[in-house]
Structure 1
């Protein structure tokens, strides 16, 4: 039952926002009593925390699978972008913003977890790119992996990139190309251009 509650709450939170959805809403959607939810979660904050870190774990597992099977580091990053976009396809209510505003402690912990995961993943990807000749061999891997995380989180800031003006798909696609063009070799540039051309046609 705990997993079912987390699953339904995830759907509702991503679609309607953390603030809007009540425990009554979740109980009603599941056809159970609110007391049943409180057996597993003592309050809404505990449920928000469980949903947040469960989603984080699911996305991490998916990213690990992509990294193990990607043909090269360039397609790997695009595949991760597509996976994350599909997983957050119902993200209509700026859940990251609401999490930051209404549950700042959970948001801060999530951001640290996201940084730890992305930092290591991108460092591995960059090293692999250098070893296979698609990224320049003199790039500062530690610095670039941190810059990548900063950029990817920065484009989600509604203050600077208002949703009415920018779609998240466009922002992620543009930032990814911007990031890659700065570090690819000629070999990497050819792979990048072929990949972009193939996926635009």
Structure 2
């Protein structure tokens, strides 16, 4: 794939992240790149194809980033804390309306997102919960399947502007609060003590 195609796709997706998909036109993308709209149409037949391509590339980057984080984490609690840090960093770039735009106006891209959510993310969460139970950080009676579904659905929930309107809620803070609730609800005393130590360590580093 040519460098120009990647540049167009990356620039478009960054604009979609910042402003939402519906708010960004092909003219906006061409203007941002300082190229003609005709040039864009040489590589993408329409905006929908561009959105789908951008989502697929984004998913590839997310998988690579998350896999790297998991490989560097030596226990389940640290895995989820590190994933939370990744989520915080990535969510700062996303306009909450983006997921709604995908669902309503870009069905192919939305299907790709659902596959990513229900396959990779769910599988990852399941593996982390199982690991945490073996390590003694999570309670043995935790229903792994139920908690994995709960976690991936709360990720999507924060994008819902009816429940968490953007003018009332900080998108990243909501995500982190729900992650914290998810973790604490599964933890043993050992897990909570270690989790608090991690929090204190991270807070001290940021002072």
Decide: shared fold, TM above 0.5: yes
Aligned to 1:188: 191
Distance 2:195 2:170 in 1: 22
CA contact (8 A) 1:18 1:98 kept: yes
Distance in structure 1 (CA, Å) of the matches to 2:11 and 2:91: 14
Match of 1:129 among 120, 129, 132: 132
User: For 1:45-66, what per-residue CA distance to the aligned partner results, in whole angstroms no more than 9, with x for missing partners?
Assistant: 1001111111111111100110
Q: Please name the residue that 2:122 is paired with.
A: 119
- Bigger mean CA deviation after superposition, 88-97 or 148-157: 88-97
Equivalent in 49, 55, 58 of residue 58 of structure 2: 55
Secondary structure of 1:182's aligned partner: helix
How many equivalent pairs are there? 201
2:159 is matched with: 156
Q: Deviations over 1:106-147 (max 9, x none)?
A: 224312322211110001101111121111123221221111
CA RMSD, Structure 1 to Structure 2 (Å): 1.7
Q: Normalising by the residue count of structure 1, what TM-score does the alignment of the two structures yield?
A: 0.91
SS at match of 2:186: coil
Structure 2 unmatched ranges of 5 or more: none
Distance 2:133 2:162 in 1: 35
For residues 162-196 of structure 1, what are the alpha-carbon distances to aligned partners after superposition, in whole Å with 9 as ceiling and x for unaligned? 22222122112211111111111111111111122
Unaligned runs of 5+ in 1: none
Deviations 1:69-106 (A, max 9, x none): 11322221122122133224232362112222322442
Q: Secondary structure at the match of 1:20?
A: coil
Cα distance, 1:93–1:156 mapped onto 2, change above 3 Å: closer
Measure, in 2, the Cα distance between the counterparts of 1:111 and 1:178: 24
TM-score (ref. length: structure 2): 0.89
- How far apart, CA to CA, are the structure 2 residues paired with 1:93 and 1:181? 26
Residue 97 (structure 1) aligns with: 100
Q: CA deviation at 1:23?
A: 1.6
Match of residue 19, structure 1, among 22, 34, 51: 22
Partner of residue 35, structure 1: 38
C-alpha contact 1:15 1:93 (8 A) present in aligned 2: no
